Amino acid sequence: MRRRLTLLVAATTTLVLVAFLVPLALLLRTVAQDRAIIAATADVQSIVSLVGTADVATLRLTVEQLAATADRPVTVYLPDGTVLGDQVAATPAVRLAGTGRSLTAADAQGREILVAVQGRPDGTAVIRTFVSAAELDRGVGRAWTVLAGLGLGLILVGVLVADRLARRLVAPITELSAVSHRLAGAELSARAQPGGPPEVREVAGALNHLAGRIQELLRDERERIADLSHRLRTPLTALRLEAESLPDPAEAARVTAAVDSLERAVTGLIQQARRRSAAPTGPGGQPAVADAAVVVRDRVEFWSVLAEDTGRTVRLELAAGPLPVAVDAEELAAAVDALLGNVFAHTPDGTGFAVALAATAEDVALTVADTGPGLPDGLARRGVSQAGSTGLGLDIAARVARASGGRLTVVDGSPGAVVTLRLGRPRT
């Protein structure tokens, strides 16, 4: 924008100067030519009366003196063919002037000024002087150079002033852009310093107001989520007590494990709601790291109990650990639970599934494949479900993948569906 404004001012200034200086330059040349012609005409006019009345001897002496002192040649052609002064052969213009007509003739070398003098007894005499092209344009080149320098100086001044003004205009806009990028990077304390034209100051104020409003909304949302999560602790406690009172120890252990998992999820939700930074962190503010092999094994063992009750076969393939990934263990567990929960929610009892964990130098890939009828229409869209759930399972997994620098891919095959969760490695 700054460059465009500067170029616009430079182009406008150039056009104005061209429109002004070109006619002025032509006028200066015309004035210089008129000045030279007037000076030559004055020399000729000074001897007109003498040519019309004096004898040849007197006239010869006067003309020779004038030719010696003048800056240009002066010649007098008498009617009898006598040539006085500078000896120049008679030109067609001289012969034309001999008919009694004064005139000026121009050619490539300059201009002839011819004055016809009548009144001599022997006929019409002609006074001739010649103004060369160099004399006609004397001083014009220097004047044009001065004008060109003046024009260039004015253009430079205009460009400098335009650049200064453009800088004052663009600097606040650049700051607004930097603040918006900081806000996009979750630095919600960033604020713009109002400056520049009133319109830009108004935009800066609006951006600051928007940032403040975003902070308020996020703070309210975190508090509502934390409050809701906190309220869940009471029914969770009651559910734990009910689970511990079950007569079957195995059933009690299974339900208690489910309650523990749910409580961990609630605790993680509270921590996430109150987390100030968007980047996942572990204890001590260090980047979060989890062993994918341990987490996946633990969650598959948990779901294997339910799989056995519903007649499902489970095949687990784990690469040799440890397999560190750049995500919190609780977040990874929630993602694995979401993927395995989708299998139980959207496939009939007896449908087997396989869980594979493979590692590469760049990431760790978790694949969940089932042999069911495939994904229902729209399941991959956030908040859409045909099984009475919230429809956020795949979205939770996708968010965890993005947080680690990976991605989630879903392939609806026949039979079954294949979901691959790629998790990025922690940075060293």
pTM above the 0.75 mark?
A: no
Report whether 421 contacts 335 (CB < 8 A). Answer: yes
Reported as a pLDDT band with limits 50, 70 and 90, residue 272 is low
DSSP code of residue 240: H
Q: Which amino acid is at 193?
A: Q
pLDDT of residue 185: 77
Which of 32-36, 40-44, 309-313, 413-417 is the least confident region?
A: 413-417
Q: Where are the domains of the chain?
A: 195-276, 283-424
Q: Parallel, antiparallel, or unpaired: how do β-strands 314-318 and 123-132 relate?
A: unpaired
Contacts of 317 (CB under 8 A, 6+ apart): 354, 355, 356, 357, 358
pLDDT of residue 67: 80
Angstrom distance (rounded) from CA 102 to CA 126: 8
Report whether 321 contacts 293 (CB < 8 A). Answer: yes
In the predicted model, what is the mean pLDDT of residues 397-406?
85
Percent of the chain whose predicted confidence (pLDDT) is above 70: 86
Angstrom distance (rounded) from CA 420 to CA 212: 39
Q: Is the per-residue pLDDT at 273 higher than 70?
A: no
DSSP code of residue 405: T
Angstrom distance (rounded) from CA 7 to CA 11: 6
* pLDDT tens-digit map of 221-250: 777 776 666 567 667 767 777 777 778 887
In the predicted model, what is the mean pLDDT of residues 172-179?
84
CATH assignment, 283-424:
3.30.565.10
In the predicted model, what is the mean pLDDT of residues 151-164?
87
Angstrom distance (rounded) from CA 104 to CA 36: 13
Pull the structure tokens for residue 199.
């319109």
Q: Parallel, antiparallel, or unpaired: how do β-strands 110-120 and 103-107 relate?
A: antiparallel
Which of 242-251, 381-390, 399-408, 419-428 is the least confident region?
A: 381-390
Three-class SS state of 115:
strand
What is the pLDDT of the chain when averaged over all its residues?
81
Reported as a pLDDT band with limits 50, 70 and 90, residue 355 is very high
DSSP code of residue 383: T
pLDDT of residue 281: 47
In the predicted model, what is the mean pLDDT of residues 141-162?
89
Greater pLDDT, 332 or 394: 332
Three-class SS state of 389:
coil
> Residue 158 phi/psi, 5° resolution?
-60, -40
Q: Is the per-residue pLDDT at 255 higher than 50?
A: yes
Q: Which amino acid is at 64?
A: E
* pLDDT tens-digit map of 368-384: 988 877 666 555 444 34
Dihedral angle of Cα 59, 62, 67, 73, to the nearest 10 degrees: -30
pLDDT of residue 376: 60
HSE toward the beta carbon, residue 95, CA cutoff 13 A = 4
Pull the structure tokens for residue 223.
């508090």
Report whether 294 contacts 425 (CB < 8 A). Answer: no
> Residue 355 phi/psi, 5° resolution?
-120, 125
Angstrom distance (rounded) from CA 128 to CA 104: 10
- Taking every pair of C-alpha atoms in the chain, what is the biggest distance, in angstroms? 159
User: What topology does CATH give the domain 195-276?
Assistant: Helix Hairpins (1.10.287)
Which of 84-98, 322-336, 380-394 is the least confident region?
A: 380-394
DSSP code of residue 317: E
Report whether 162 contacts 6 (CB < 8 A). Answer: yes
Q: Is the per-residue pLDDT at 275 higher than 70?
A: no
Beta strands per DSSP E along 139-212: none
